[in-house]
C-alpha cells in the first residue's frame, strides 16, 4: 500500500450537483439562460485553432478584464474557474501546517483545497447564517496565512456589510492575506453588499475573486480570476497549472465581457425571480434568509435531506447539506414554479 498523505484520508470530497436527464436542475448555482449570444458565435468560429496550445499569459483576456475593472493587467491572475484560483492563492501562501480561516458553512472547496495545499482549515461557525467576522478575526494566530471571506456566502446567500468588512480588513495582521470571494457579486444589491475591489483596491494584503461561471453563464468552460496587488499576483501566477485556461475558455470569456446588456438583463430576471420565490416560500411558512446571490438557503435542519429527496422524486434537483439546510438555485420562472409546487406539497404533508 502506497503511503498517501494522512490529511487526505478523512477529507470529505467535493459533492457536485446531481445530473439527471430531463430534470429541473437547481443544485449548482448556474445561469439558467444558456450561453450568451456572442459567446456561442465566437466558439463556433474557433475550432481551427485548437491543435495549438492556448496563450498561457491569457494576454487578451487580461487586457479585457483590466479594462473592465480599471486596473493594470499585472493586477489580475486567471485560472480554470475561481476554484482553481482559490487553490493557486493557497499554494502561494501556505507552508505545511499553515492555518487558513473561513466561516463555516461556506464554499465546500475551501477546506478541500486548503488541505490539498498542505494547510490546516480553521472553520469559524456562522452566526444566524452570516459569517462572524469578529469570530474569524479572533481565530487568527501566528500560523494563519490566509482568510477567505465569501461575500455573499455560499450556501447561505447572506452578505457581510461594508462596515464589518472594513473593520475586519483593518484588524488583520499585514502578513495575512485576505481573499474576498465574490463569485456571486453580479446578483448582489450594491447598497447592501460592498464591492471589495472598489473598497480595498490599494491594500497590500487583499485579493478579490470573481468567476465567469455564474452571471456570465460559462460554468462548463472554467474561467475565474483574482485581482490584487501586483507583487502577490506575480506569485499567484507561478502556481497555475500551465495552460489550464483553454483557448476556448479565454475566447468565450472575452466575448462574454462584451455582453453587458444581456448579462444585466439576465441578472435582473434572476434577481426578480429570487425575490418572488423568497416571498412565496415565506408565505408558505419557510424561514428564508434574504439572498444576495442567485440561490436561496432553506435552513431545514434535519428535514434537509428528506426535503431534497421529496424534490428529487419529482425531478427537481436541489442541494441538501444534511442536518443543516437546502440550497436552491434560482432557475427559469417555470423551473422555480415546479420547485415552489413541491415546497407547497411538502408543507401540506407536515
Ligand atoms: N466561490 C464560490 C463562493 C462558489 O460558490 C463557487 C462555485 N460554486 C466558486 C467560488 C467556484 O466557481 P468556479 O470554479 O466555477 O469559478
Residue 207: count other Cβ atoms within 10 Å of its Cβ.
Answer: 27
Residue 229 resides in a domain = yes
Residue 295 resides in a domain = yes
Looking at the fold, whether 244 and 309 belong to one and the same domain comes out as: no
Looking up residue 166, the CATH number of its domain turns out to be 3.40.640.10
Q: Evaluate whether 78 touches 227 at the Cβ level (below 8 Å).
A: no
Q: What is the pLDDT of residues 267-302, one digit of tens each?
A: 999 999 999 999 999 999 999 999 999 999 999 999
The verdict on the CB of residue 79 being under 6 Å from ligand 1 is no
Alpha helices in 54-148 (DSSP H): 59-69, 81-93, 109-116, 133-138
Given the CA of residue 86, which atom of ligand 1 is nearest to it? 10
The verdict on the CB of residue 211 being under 6 Å from ligand 1 is yes
Q: What is the pLDDT of residues 178-202, one digit of tens each?
A: 999 999 999 999 999 999 999 999 9
CA of 283 to the centre of ligand 1 (A): 30
- Residue 69 predicted with pLDDT over 90: yes
**Domain total of the chain:** 2
Give the relative orientation of helices 37-45 and 247-257 as an angle to the nearest 10 degrees: 150
Looking at the fold, whether 237 and 264 belong to one and the same domain comes out as: no
CA of 295 to the centre of ligand 1 (A): 13
Looking up residue 285, the CATH number of its domain turns out to be 3.90.1150.10
Site to probe by mutation for ligand 1, drawn from 16, 81, 187, 321 as the one with most ligand atoms within 8 Å of Cβ, is 81
Looking at the fold, whether 61 and 23 belong to one and the same domain comes out as: no
Looking at the fold, whether 124 and 49 belong to one and the same domain comes out as: yes
pLDDT of residue 282: 98
DSSP-derived letter for residue 192 is: T
Q: What is the pLDDT of residues 90-142, one digit of tens each?
A: 999 999 999 999 999 999 999 999 999 999 999 999 999 999 999 999 999 99
Q: In the structure, what pLDDT confidence band is assigned to residue 21 with cuts at 50, 70 and 90?
A: confident
CA of 42 to the centre of ligand 1 (A): 24
DSSP string across 140-188: --TTEEEEEEESSPTTT-----HHHHHHHHHHS-TTSEEEEE-TTGGGS
- Residue 48 predicted with pLDDT over 80: no
The verdict on the CB of residue 107 being under 6 Å from ligand 1 is yes
Instruction: Find the domain containing 296 and state its range.
Output: 6-33+260-349
Q: What is the pLDDT of residues 292-329, one digit of tens each?
A: 999 999 999 999 999 999 999 999 999 999 999 999 99
Looking at the fold, whether 252 and 318 belong to one and the same domain comes out as: no
pLDDT of residue 230: 97
Residue 234 resides in a domain = yes
Residue 1 resides in a domain = no
Looking at the fold, whether 265 and 209 belong to one and the same domain comes out as: no
Site to probe by mutation for ligand 1, drawn from 102, 106, 154, 160 as the one with most ligand atoms within 8 Å of Cβ, is 154
Looking at the fold, whether 174 and 266 belong to one and the same domain comes out as: no
The whole-number average pLDDT for the span 251-275 is 97
Q: Evaluate whether 97 touches 120 at the Cβ level (below 8 Å).
A: yes
Query: CA neighbours within 13 Å on the CB side: how many for 295?
Result: 26
Looking at the fold, whether 112 and 219 belong to one and the same domain comes out as: yes
ipTM value: 0.98
Contacts of 84 (CB under 8 A, 6+ apart): 222, 224, 240, 241, 244
Of 228, 257, 286, the residue that ends a domain is 257
Q: What is the mean pLDDT of the chain?
A: 96
Looking at the fold, whether 146 and 215 belong to one and the same domain comes out as: yes
The whole-number average pLDDT for the span 40-49 is 84
Amino acid at each position: 500500500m502506497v503511503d498517501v498523505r494522512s490529511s487526505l484520508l478523512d477529507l470529505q470530497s467535493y459533492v457536485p450537483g446531481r445530473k439527471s436527464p430531463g430534470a429541473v436542475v437547481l443544485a449548482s448555482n448556474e445561469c439558467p439562460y444558456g450561453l450568451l449570444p456572442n459567446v456561442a458565435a465566437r466558439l463556433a468560429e474557433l475550432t481551427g485553432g485548437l491543435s495549438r496550445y492556448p496563450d498561457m499569459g491569457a494576454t487578451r483576456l487580461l487586457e479585457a478584464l483590466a479594462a473592465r475593472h480599471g486596473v493594470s493587467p499585472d493586477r489580475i491572475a486567471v485560472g480554470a474557474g475561481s476554484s482553481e484560483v482559490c487553490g493557486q492563492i493557497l499554494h502561494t501562501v501556505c507552508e505545511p501546517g499553515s492555518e487558513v480561516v473561513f466561516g463555516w458553512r461556506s464554499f465546500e472547496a475551501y477546506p478541500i483545497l486548503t488541505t490539498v495545499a498542505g494547510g490546516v482549515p480553521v472553520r469559524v461557525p456562522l452566526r444566524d447564517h452570516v459569517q462572524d467576522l469578529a469570530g474569524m478575526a479572533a481565530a487568527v494566530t501566528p500560523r494563519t496565512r490566509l482568510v477567505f471571506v465569501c461575500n455573499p456566502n455560499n450556501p447561505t446567500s447572506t452578505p457581510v456589510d461594508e462596515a464589518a468588512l472594513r473593520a475586519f480588513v483593518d484588524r488583520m495582521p499585514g502578513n495575512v492575506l485576505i481573499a474576498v470571494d465574490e463569485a456571486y457579486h453580479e446578483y448582489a444589491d450594491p447598497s447592501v453588499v460592498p464591492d471589495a475591489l472598489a473598497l480595498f483596491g490599494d491594500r497590500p494584503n487583499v485579493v478579490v475573486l470573481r468567476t465567469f461561471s455564474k452571471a456570465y453563464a460559462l460554468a462548463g468552460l472554467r474561467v475565474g480570476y483574482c485581482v490584487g496587488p501586483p507583487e502577490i499576483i506575480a506569485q499567484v501566477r507561478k502556481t497555475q497549472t500551465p495552460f489550464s485556461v483553454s483557448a476556448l475558455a479565454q475566447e468565450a470569456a472575452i466575448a462574454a465581457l462584451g455582453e453587458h446588456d444581456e448579462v444585466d438583463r439576465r441578472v435582473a430576471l434572476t434577481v426578480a425571480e429570487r425575490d418572488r420565490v423568497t416571498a412565496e416560500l415565506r408565505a408558505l411558512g419557510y424561514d428564508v434568509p434574504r439572498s444576495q446571490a442567485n440561490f436561496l438557503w432553506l435552513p431545514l435542519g434535519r428535514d434537509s435531506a428528506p426535503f431534497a429527496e421529496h424534490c428529487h422524486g419529482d425531478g427537481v434537483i436541489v442541494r441538501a447539506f444534511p442536518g443543516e439546510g437546502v440550497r436552491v438555485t434560482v432557475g427559469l420562472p417555470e423551473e422555480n414554479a415546479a420547485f415552489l409546487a413541491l415546497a407547497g406539497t411538502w408543507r401540506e404533508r407536515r
